[in-house]
Amino acid sequence: MHTLYWKPMSGSLAPMALLEETGLPFDLQKVDAAAGEDKSEAYMRDVHPLGLVPALRIPDGRVMIESAAMTIYLADLAPAAGLAPAATDADRALYLQWMVYGAATLYPTYIRIYHPDYHRVREGDDEAVKALAVKALDVAWAPIESALADGRSFLLGDRCTAADIYIAMMALWHPGRGAFGKACPNVNRLREAVWARPACAKALGMHAP
């Protein structure tokens, strides 16, 4: 059994969607961040050493961190779900590229927007940190918008993979949702296609009821 430690509208949405998509048995453990549970001694000792969400307890009892790693792991664990090109499939290269792009380029840019305090040099810097991050976000989404420019529904063509789910999660986090949808209509199409999938919609319903 897997146990996902999660909180609404966080990076736990993609692994939760994967758990729903794959049909693997799982438990959910909601983390009450408003009450400081994620920064408690017990949580940081037993679950996530940085006091963040998500974390995934795997069936042997160990805990895994990093949302992209969980997403890749769960998709590989259930090949019948068809969400991960196999290691020998030519699509694997770009599949991994987009997964890591999401984790390494998009996610940290969002952290600068939602946690400018982590990046401020002095008091009063937050608005400048956020403004720069919003500009960086436009740049970071551009290659994804281009990759979808031929009208394809998903990053690798007609086939939805875990990378689409991961990237579609980040499309939900954009602070200027309406304007972003207009500026990046291809990303908007991907977002709609992913969250229309029944399993993904079920996970999203937990995050944004």
Ligand X SMILES: N[C@@H](CCC(=O)N[C@@H](CS)C(=O)NCC(=O)O)C(=O)O
**Residues contributing to the site for ligand X (CB under 6 A):** 10-11, 52-54, 66-68, 103, 107, 111, 115
- Please state, in angstroms and rounded to a whole number, the distance separating the CA atoms of residues 173 and 160: 20
Q: Least distance from C-beta 197 to ligand X, angstroms?
A: 21
- Please state, in angstroms and rounded to a whole number, the distance separating the CA atoms of residues 122 and 126: 9
Contact 147, 56 (CB under 8 A): no
Using a 10 angstrom Cβ sphere, with 0-12 exposed, 13-18 middle and 19 or more buried, the burial of residue 190 is: buried
Q: Least distance from C-beta 66 to ligand X, angstroms?
A: 5
Q: Which is nearer to ligand X, 103 or 186 (CB)?
A: 103
Q: Least distance from C-beta 115 to ligand X, angstroms?
A: 5
Q: Least distance from C-beta 150 to ligand X, angstroms?
A: 29
Sheet with 55-57: list strands edge to edge.
26-30, 2-6, 55-57, 63-65
Q: Which is nearer to ligand X, 13 or 186 (CB)?
A: 13
- Judged by phi (left if over 0) then psi (alpha if -120 to 50, else beta), residue 26 lies in beta
Range list of H helices, the chain:
13-22, 41-46, 67-77, 92-101, 107-114, 126-147, 162-172, 177-183, 185-195, 198-207
Q: Which is nearer to ligand X, 67 or 186 (CB)?
A: 67
Q: Which is nearer to ligand X, 69 or 78 (CB)?
A: 69
Q: Least distance from C-beta 193 to ligand X, angstroms?
A: 23
Q: Which is nearer to ligand X, 23 or 49 (CB)?
A: 49
